[in-house]
């Protein structure tokens, strides 16, 4: 019995390490070799989903060359120039104006709706520094995609540590989706 329990615990530890290692390796391999490495706080979270800080104008063409088809911007304000540039690159552009001081469940639901529309297309989610975007990515991965919470959280925490209204927002979203 003790040996069986030890084997199970050892297997669980190895599985967790392998999942973490694979997630880290996927991110490292893409970011080391990718021309996108200069985008602030870029995190490649899956073969079809990444989050980042604000790409420069020049980087959007590199994003498109890497196969991304959709850009979601979480920054409030006028981004008509970004939208025109992205459309000219034959990618789609969406903006969800997430108030830094008041992120809402409605903001997140709109994001989830977009992701459902995009299905298996490559999506880059961004904000200024990848703070908003990494929180949304963490929540999306854990509430919609079944990604292990510790792996998704580690990616978010590698960018920033949410506090205050952002911790409250994360809890609200988690509670909402745990009730469904």
Q: Look at residue 74 in the predicted model and tell me its pLDDT.
A: 98
pTM (2 d.p.) = 0.82
Indicate the number of domains in the chain: 1
* CB-CB contact of 30 with 46 (8 Å): no
Here the tokens at position 124 are 């880059």
In the sheet that 49-52 helps form, which strands lie side by side, from edge to edge?
Answer: 43-46, 49-52, 123-126, 70-73, 92-95
pLDDT per 10-residue tile (average), the chain, 180 residues: 46 38 40 76 97 96 97 98 97 98 98 97 98 98 97 98 98 95
Domain of residue 136 covers 2-179
Q: Look at residue 34 in the predicted model and tell me its pLDDT.
A: 72
CATH code for the domain of 121:
3.90.190.10
């Amino acid at each position: 019995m003790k040996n069986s329990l030890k084997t199970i615990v050892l297997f669980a530890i190895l599985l967790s390490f392998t999942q973490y290692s694979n997630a880290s390796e996927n991110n490292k391999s893409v970011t080391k070799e990718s021309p996108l490495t200069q985008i602030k706080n870029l995190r490649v979270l899956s073969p079809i989903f990444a989050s980042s800080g604000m790409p420069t104008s020049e980087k959007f063409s590199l994003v498109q060359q890497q196969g991304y088809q959709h850009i979601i911007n979480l920054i409030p304000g006028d981004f008509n120039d970004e939208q025109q540039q992205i459309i000219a690159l034959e990618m789609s552009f969406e903006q969800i104006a997430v108030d830094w001081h008041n992120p809402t469940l409605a903001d997140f639901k709109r994001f989830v709706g977009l992701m459902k529309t995009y299905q298996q297309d490559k999506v880059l989610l961004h904000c200024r520094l990848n703070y908003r975007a990494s929180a949304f990515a963490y929540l999306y991965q854990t509430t919609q995609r079944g990604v292990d919470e510790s792996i998704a959280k580690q990616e978010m925490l590698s960018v920033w540590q949410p506090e205050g209204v952002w911790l409250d927002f994360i809890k609200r979203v988690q509670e909402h989706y745990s009730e469904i």
